[in-house]
């Protein structure tokens, strides 16, 4: 028995079927993504047979397929727990392409160990250091821990930059606009160079190689519904402060004061009934961040700042999701979230006891409370971003860092 155990072959992460699945997916997805997204993907011809650590800026839900068009062989993508909590669908995904699970908004030692295992087996790994898609067209915060991981893996680092993705499909939009995109390896950093740069120097090179700012009128992105669901990203009005917005077609309107703007084909925004202080969503987003960072949320606890409605599930990590509440009323205060306030089902989630708050996809919200993960899925107009921003603002204040600017993305 002991001899059998010694001779037993250790199970590998990389399977032969991954090569077959990759080729099948590439065959079917290549024409689809090119036609659907208008993207020109430049093949990484210098790849050879070497495994790489691919780092990319995250712009669309299909970014992983763009990477797959540029690189040969299977690529093992790091993916959040939501992908692994869908029952049999998750099991199928694991079997087909074996992504690397990571807990969003947390330090996941298991994910690091799995990456090191894959690197030892000669696998190519792909990670989006932002961990989030941009809401305003600019590459968002990257956790500097990625530099330390990259140096540990000792793989050549391919920086894969995607340009035009925000124009074609902003995170806040359901639709895809007719426009042009590009995906290409902007730089390769060899392991020896990464070692010499140190964590800080390497992180700076990663930021430079992946940074994109699409707040420029550099092309046309055609759609008759190009403003729809901008309210997923914007909740502060330059005229009346915290507010709700409604969008339809090419216009977005403040429900409080009636301020209406047009989202143009070149990504600019203009006022309908007069001048508007911002030319791009990025400038409006900056104003919103500054506005929230000027609030003392610890004093805004008497009345809810917003009320939403959403279906709530409890996420059993790496297994499935269980229904928790349907059409629940969600009240957002400066220091807490309250579910079904004033009813027998009332539940309070104090910010001081919440471990993390994150946005998944376009507008799903995860709140990590104790051992539970609650996922909120509201209407198409639901703004999940404000919950992330408010939780981070509250955390900054109570930690004595009221001047802190980081609001979660």
pLDDT at 349 over 50: yes
Report strand pairing: 306-316 vs 241-242.
unpaired
Provide the mean pLDDT of the chain.
Answer: 94
Residue 298 and residue 300: Cα distance in Å, rounded? 6
pLDDT digits (tens, 9 = 90+) for 278-305: 999 999 999 999 999 999 999 999 999 9
pLDDT at 6 over 60: no
User: In this predicted structure, what is the pLDDT of residue 273?
Assistant: 87
pTM of the model: 0.92
User: In this predicted structure, what is the pLDDT of residue 1?
Assistant: 47
Distances (CA, A) of 151 to 15, 58, 107, 136, 313: 25, 21, 17, 30, 38
Number of neighbouring beta carbons within 10 Å of residue 196: 10
The secondary structure element, H or E, covering residue 79 is strand 75-80
pLDDT digits (tens, 9 = 90+) for 47-87: 999 999 999 999 999 999 999 999 999 999 998 878 888 88
Residue 118 phi, psi (nearest 5)? -65, -40
User: In this predicted structure, what is the pLDDT of residue 107?
Assistant: 60
Q: At 105, is the pLDDT very low, low, confident or very high (cuts 50, 70, 90)?
A: low
Mean per-residue pLDDT, 99-117: 82
> Residues of the chain with pLDDT > 90: what percent?
86
pLDDT digits (tens, 9 = 90+) for 318-339: 788 999 999 999 999 999 999 9
Residue 263 phi, psi (nearest 5)? -95, 115
Q: At 7, is the pLDDT very low, low, confident or very high (cuts 50, 70, 90)?
A: very low
């Amino acid at each position: 028995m002991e001899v059998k155990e010694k001779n037993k072959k250790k199970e590998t992460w990389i399977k032969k079927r991954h090569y077959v699945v990759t080729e099948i997916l590439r065959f079917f997805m290549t024409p689809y993504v090119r036609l659907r997204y208008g993207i020109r993907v430049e093949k990484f011809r210098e790849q050879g047979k070497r495994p790489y650590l691919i780092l990319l800026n995250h712009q669309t839900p299909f970014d992983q397929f763009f990477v797959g068009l540029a690189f040969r062989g299977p690529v093992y993508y790091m993916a959040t727990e939501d992908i692994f909590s869908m029952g049999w669908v998750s099991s199928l995904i694991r079997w087909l392409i074996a992504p690397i699970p990571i807990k969003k908004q947390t330090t996941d030692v298991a994910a690091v160990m799995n990456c090191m295992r894959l690197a030892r087996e000669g696998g190519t790994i792909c990670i989006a250091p932002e961990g989030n898609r941009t809401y305003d067209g600019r590459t968002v915060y990257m956790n500097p821990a990625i530099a330390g991981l990259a140096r540990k893996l000792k793989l050549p680092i391919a920086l894969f930059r995607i340009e035009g993705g925000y124009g074609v499909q902003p995170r806040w939009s359901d639709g895809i606009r007719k426009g042009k995109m590009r995906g290409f390896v902007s730089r390769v950093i060899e392991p020896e160079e990464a070692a010499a740069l140190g964590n800080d120097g390497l992180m700076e090179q990663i930021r430079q190689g992946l940074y994109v700012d699409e707040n420029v009128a550099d092309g046309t992105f055609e759609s008759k519904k190009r403003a729809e669901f901008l309210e997923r990203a914007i909740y502060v009005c330059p005229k009346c402060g915290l507010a709700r917005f409604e969008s339809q077609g090419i216009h977005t309107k403040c429900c409080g004061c009636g301020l209406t703007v047009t989202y143009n084909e070149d990504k600019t925004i203009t006022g309908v009934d007069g001048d508007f202080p911002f030319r791009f969503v990025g400038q409006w987003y900056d104003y919103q961040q500054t506005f929230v960072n000027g609030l003392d949320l610890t004093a805004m606890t008497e009345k809810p700042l917003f009320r939403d409605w959403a279906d709530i599930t409890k996420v059993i990590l790496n297994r499935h999701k269980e229904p928790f509440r349907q059409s629940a009323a969600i009240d957002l205060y400066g220091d807490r979230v309250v579910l079904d306030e004033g009813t027998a089902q009332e539940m309070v989630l104090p910010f001081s006891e919440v471990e993390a708050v994150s946005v998944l996809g376009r507008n799903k919200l995860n709140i990590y409370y104790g051992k539970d993960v609650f996922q909120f899925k509201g209407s198409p107009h639901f703004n999940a971003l404000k919950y992330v921003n408010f939780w981070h603002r509250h955390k900054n204040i109570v930690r004595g860092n009221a001047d802190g600017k980081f609001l979660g993305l």
